[in-house]
């Protein structure tokens, strides 16, 4: 029997999760906590397999729960209202989240990954990525990249460029390593633009720190000597962005 812990201080949200879990009643046992302190003690004692964790818990947060527990050997699914700062942090860390009100299909997909234990891989490291993006400190920012063996945690400053390939994106590091992720380039543009990246073309998002030179004829050369076209409509904005560095 699998144990799922619901950590939520809004009863209607807890009830929604319990309703969505009813089809799995024969294999999933549920326990509920409404405060961070109860949750910390419950996780350490019960060691659940799946944790549904609300971002806000009275005067504390779900992040306080994670910081207060040594046991992280579970699949983690955050529950949150639409808060852009938190959602971007979840995406950087590749930790699942569900928006309130919880959609049944989104819940089913997240739960299936939890049951497959996909979300247990390198959870401590990915929680570290999550917390670093929520911190106001000037720490090294990372991004979790899903791979066939788990996750690769990359320093954002080491990413040279991202290249679109239909609904996939190829990420290239300055060291020449290539990662392929089943998400469109627009997804990574939304995450990386605030970290000094610029989309020079429908197919290319580059790290401005790695620009070696720019030719007025319309192409840019990166530090690894990769040459890429800059689309005509992007050239003026690209030049301005480079001057701001």
Q: Quick one: three-class SS letters along 61-117? A: EHHHHHHHCCCCCCEEEEEECCCHHHHHHHHHHCCEEEECCCCHHHHHHHHHHHHCC
Do residues 130 and 18 both lie within one domain? yes
Do residues 37 and 104 both lie within one domain? yes
Label residue 226 by pLDDT band (50, 70, 90).
very high
pLDDT tens, position by position, 76-98? 999 998 777 789 999 999 999 99
Could you tell me the residue range of the domain that residue 47 belongs to? 2-134
Residue 179 in domain: yes
Average pLDDT over residues 126-150: 86
Residue 136 has pLDDT above 90, yes or no: no
Give the CATH number for residue 89. Answer: 3.40.50.2300
Q: What is the mean pLDDT of the chain?
A: 93
Do residues 168 and 234 both lie within one domain? yes
> What is the pLDDT, as a whole number, of residue 149?
80
Do residues 17 and 111 both lie within one domain? yes
Give the CATH number for residue 197. Answer: 2.40.50.1020
> What is the pLDDT, as a whole number, of residue 5?
98
197 Cβ neighbours under 8 A, 6+ residues apart: 159, 162, 189, 205, 206, 207, 208
Task: Tell which of 134, 149, 173 closes a domain.
Answer: 134
Do residues 32 and 120 both lie within one domain? yes
Residue 145 in domain: no
Q: What percent of the chain has pLDDT over 90?
A: 78
Residue 139 in domain: no
> What is the pLDDT, as a whole number, of residue 179?
96
Residue 149 in domain: no
pLDDT tens, position by position, 200-210? 999 999 999 99
Question: Distance between CA atoms of 163 and 203, rounded to whole angstroms?
Answer: 5
> What is the pLDDT, as a whole number, of residue 84?
75
CA distances (Å), origin 9, targets 17, 71, 90, 229, 236: 13, 22, 21, 52, 50
Residue 147 in domain: no
Q: In what order do the strands lie in the sheet with 96-99?
A: 28-33, 2-7, 50-54, 75-80, 96-99
Do residues 9 and 105 both lie within one domain? yes
Residue 13 in domain: yes
Do residues 117 and 201 both lie within one domain? no
Q: What is the pTM of this model?
A: 0.85
Residue 220 in domain: yes
Q: DSSP of 130-142, one letter per residue?
A: HHHHH--S-PPPE
Closest by CA to 80, choosing from 93, 89, 72, is 89
> What is the pLDDT, as a whole number, of residue 117?
83
Question: Distance between CA atoms of 155 and 127, rounded to whole angstroms?
Answer: 15
Residue 176 has pLDDT above 80, yes or no: yes
Task: Say how many domains are in the chain.
Answer: 2
75 Cβ neighbours under 8 A, 6+ residues apart: 49, 50, 51, 96, 113, 114, 115, 117, 118, 119, 120, 123
Do residues 130 and 165 both lie within one domain? no
Residue 143 in domain: no
pLDDT tens, position by position, 1-50? 999 999 999 999 999 999 999 999 999 999 999 999 999 999 999 999 99
pLDDT tens, position by position, 104-128? 999 999 999 999 886 788 899 999 9
> What is the pLDDT, as a whole number, of residue 116?
86
Average pLDDT over residues 53-65: 92
């Amino acid at each position: 029997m699998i144990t799922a812990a619901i950590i939520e201080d809004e009863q209607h949200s807890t009830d929604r999760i319990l309703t969505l879990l009813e089809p799995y009643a024969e294999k999933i046992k549920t326990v509920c906590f409404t405060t961070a302190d109860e949750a910390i003690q419950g996780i350490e004692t019960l060691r659940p397999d799946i944790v549904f964790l609300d971002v806000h818990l009275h005067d504390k947060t779900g992040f306080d729960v994670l910081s207060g527990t040594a046991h992280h050997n579970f699949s983690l699914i955050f529950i949150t209202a639409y808060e852009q700062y938190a959602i971007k942090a979840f995406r950087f860390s590749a930790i699942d989240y569900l928006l309130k009100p919880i959609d049944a299909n989104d819940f089913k997909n997240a739960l299936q990954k939890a049951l497959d234990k996909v979300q247990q891989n390198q959870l401590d490291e990915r929680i570290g990525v999550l917390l670093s993006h929520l911190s106001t400190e000037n720490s090294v920012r990372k991004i979790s990249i899903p791979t066939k063996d788990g996750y690769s945690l990359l320093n954002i400053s080491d990413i040279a460029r991202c290249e679109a390939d239909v609904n996939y994106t190829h990420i290239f590091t300055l060291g020449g390593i290539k990662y392929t992720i089943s998400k469109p380039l627009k997804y990574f543009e939304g995450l990386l633009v605030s970290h000094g990246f610029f989309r020079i073309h429908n197919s290319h998002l580059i790290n401005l720190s790695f620009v070696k030179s720019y030719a007025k004829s319309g192409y840019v050369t990166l530090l690894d000597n990769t040459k890429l076209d800059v689309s005509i409509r992007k050239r003026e904005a690209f030049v301005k962005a480079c001057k701001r560095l």
